[in-house]
Amino acid sequence: MEIEKSEAKLTAIREKIELGGGQLRIDRQHKKGKMTARERINYLLDQDSFNELNPFIKNRSTTLGMSDKQVPGEGVVAGYGTINQRLVYLYAQDFTVMGGSVGEAHAQKIQVVMDLALANRAPLIGLNDSGGARINEGIDALNGYGEIFYRNTKASGIIPQISAILGPCAGGAVYSPAITDFIFMVDQTSKMFITGPEVIKSVTGETVSGEELGGAATHNQLSGVAHFREKDEKSVLDKIRLLLSYLPDNCQEKPDQIQLKDQAGRSTEKLKEIVKANSKQAYDVKKVIEIIVDKNSFLEVQAEFAPNAVIGFARLNGRSIGIVANQPKYLAGCLNINASTKLARFIRFLDSFNIPIISLVDVPGYLPGTEQELGGVIRHGAKVLYAYSEATVPKITLIMRKAYGGAYIAMGSRSVRADLVYAWPIAEIAVMGPEGAANIIYRKEIASVENSAEVRQQKIAEYKDKFANPYLAAERGMVNDIIKIAATRAKLINGLEILVNKNLHNNQQRHGNIPL
């Protein structure tokens, strides 16, 4: 009987904790179109797989009315479970309990699962929904954040870390997601900023809405802080499950190769309907990707930020790969500051987690202009060179059409150690475009004749014929082979197979000094 009594007591206490901030606040959360922390966890994980850790932890704060305040669960639910039968550690902030505010005990619960995730080499997922630091707990709250940032950093590149912003995430709170690998946001619900609209108004006088300042659209389109924007919470959680399917559990493992749902040797003849031989005609590189990779396997990352570059996960013959491509449809596919940072961070992620890099190149060069130069395109552009050179995973580059100047070198060329470089016969690999080159090389000749316009066109055609092709690069060994367009998929899959055991390591410096 004694045992039954004790267990009944346990159940009662647990039920109280599991109710969080109470039915009233739960209803309020629902009314905003938001799920509670526990509902989110249950939706994200495989059924009945969640195990909670430290539900009983209580703060020890006695100041500012904390001594007799009830804070069930301390505003966060933490533990572990499985996603498609794979172990993940996770925490979900509970907005119904003191606005999900972060105090010492709240932070401690998060730290426990972070430590377990790192020690056991399994992915970490954070579902953020918090008003910020719990002011009542003063610097203990701040210290809690610091301990989380430190752990995010130490886990970086060892286990995948994913953040979903499912409500407010303001002030110091933003830096934990910022250090993680991917940030998901929900339209109209998620807000991320260092200082909110009220503070900005009082300090600088600027009037700006929360949505404009730190909404999902802002961070996915303009700031580049976030990687995915979804219409609701469930879509975010669904997409986290999908994203994880492309990733290994940690840096020592390779992603799963899944059963092939497409033919490895399938012809990619259809690409000829999309990519025009006339390199001045733009096209949508996403259509090219869709044709090359396994059917319906392309998961785009940062789809809205710097659309002149396209990145994402996909599969080739069931193997997880990372696609890095130029997008001729936007800004002619040029490299600029935003595209450079987007590409470089993704390349480094892929390299961290043993995911081969497939680069699809059609790049006219770097975007000219004072905005770019003064904005530091030199140091940002350098990141792409650094990231490719540093990466030791299998790297296969396909030069589809344009590959001009420094941008050609940057986009996974042989010199930054692509293992295999293929080019289509319509590729143009040269130091600069025919127009520019003809103008410089034949300047005097063009100026000295009467029919200069005609001669200029003639010189451009001559240059194009002589230099804007893949053969010179192939003669120098900078291109390993020139392939027929229809054979693209088969060649890339074959390339991946022969590189599958690539085992290359960087020097053991303390760490490199990537230009930031």
Partner 1 sequence: MAKNYRVEISGEEFIVKIEEIKQNNNEATKIAPVQTIESGQNRVINKKKQTFTSGKSVDKSGSSIVAPMPGSILEIKANVGDKVAAGEALIILEAMKMENEVTADQGGIIKAVKVAVGDSVEADDLLIELE
Give the span between the Cα atoms of 40 and 102, in whole angstroms: 19
The catalytic position among 314, 407, 473, 474 is 407
Nearer to partner 1, 315 or 401 (CB): 401
> Near partner 1 by CB under 8 A, which window of 7-15, 97-105, 339-347, 359-367?
359-367
The distance of closest approach from Cβ of residue 364 to partner 1 in the complex, given in angstroms and rounded to an integer, is 4
Region label for 129, one of left (φ > 0), alpha (ψ between -120 and 50) or beta (otherwise) = beta
- Contact at 8 Å (CB) between 137 and 59? yes
Size of the site for partner 1 (CB under 8 A): 36
Selected from 271, 293, 358, 367, the binder of partner 1 by CB under 8 A is 367
282 contributes a contact to partner 1 by CB under 8 A:
yes
Q: Which of residues 198-257 bind partner 1 (CB under 8 A)?
A: 204-208, 211-212, 215-217, 221-222, 229
Give the span between the Cα atoms of 486 and 323, in whole angstroms: 19
Give the span between the Cα atoms of 234 and 184, in whole angstroms: 11
Nearer to partner 1, 265 or 368 (CB): 368
373 contributes a contact to partner 1 by CB under 8 A:
no
The catalytic position among 20, 126, 172, 365 is 172
Q: Which of residues 67-106 bind partner 1 (CB under 8 A)?
A: none
333 as an active site residue: the answer is no
- Contact at 8 Å (CB) between 493 and 260? no
Question: E strand or H helix at 237, and its extent?
Answer: helix 233-245
The catalytic position among 81, 171, 214, 312 is 171
433 contributes a contact to partner 1 by CB under 8 A:
yes
439 contributes a contact to partner 1 by CB under 8 A:
no
194 contributes a contact to partner 1 by CB under 8 A:
no
The distance of closest approach from Cβ of residue 335 to partner 1 in the complex, given in angstroms and rounded to an integer, is 10
Nearer to partner 1, 68 or 206 (CB): 206
Could you tell me which residues come within 8 angstroms of residue 4 by beta carbon, excluding any fewer than 6 positions away? none
Match 């039915």 to its residue by tokens: 23
Query: 28 burial class (0-12, 13-18, 19+ CB within 10 angstroms)?
Result: middle
Question: At 166, phi and psi to the nearest 5?
Answer: -115, 25
Nearer to partner 1, 20 or 333 (CB): 333
Q: How far apart, in Å, are the Cα atoms of 305 and each of 39, 371, 475? A: 31, 17, 37
> Near partner 1 by CB under 8 A, which window of 79-87, 117-125, 279-287, 445-453?
279-287
214 as an active site residue: the answer is no
DSSP assignment, residue 34?
-
Give the span between the Cα atoms of 173 and 93, in whole angstroms: 12
The distance of closest approach from Cβ of residue 240 to partner 1 in the complex, given in angstroms and rounded to an integer, is 20
Nearest to 429, CA basis, from 396, 470, 460 = 470
Selected from 279, 302, 340, 480, the binder of partner 1 by CB under 8 A is 279
172 as an active site residue: the answer is yes
Nearer to partner 1, 206 or 450 (CB): 206
100 as an active site residue: the answer is no
Could you tell me which residues come within 8 angstroms of residue 44 by beta carbon, excluding any fewer than 6 positions away? 83, 90, 125, 127, 237, 240, 241
**HSE of 21 in the Cβ direction (CA atoms, 13 Å)?**
20
Using DSSP bridges, classify how beta strands 228-230 and 182-186 pair: parallel, antiparallel or unpaired: parallel
404 contributes a contact to partner 1 by CB under 8 A:
yes
293 contributes a contact to partner 1 by CB under 8 A:
no
Per-residue contact string for residues 304-343; x = within reach of partner 1 by CB under 8 A: x-----------------------x-xxxxx---------
Per-residue contact string for residues 148-177; x = within reach of partner 1 by CB under 8 A: ------------------------------
Selected from 187, 238, 390, 462, the binder of partner 1 by CB under 8 A is 187
Q: Secondary structure of 410-479 in the HEC alphabet?
A: HCCCHHHCCCEEEECCCCEEECCCHHHHHHHHCHHHHHHCCCHHHHHHHHHHHHHHHHCCCHHHHHCCCC
The distance of closest approach from Cβ of residue 242 to partner 1 in the complex, given in angstroms and rounded to an integer, is 21
The distance of closest approach from Cβ of residue 454 to partner 1 in the complex, given in angstroms and rounded to an integer, is 18
Q: Which residues are catalytic?
A: 171-172, 406-407
Binding site for partner 1 (CB under 8 A): 187-188, 204-208, 211-212, 215-217, 221-222, 229, 279-282, 304, 328, 330-334, 364-365, 367-369, 371, 402, 404, 433, 435
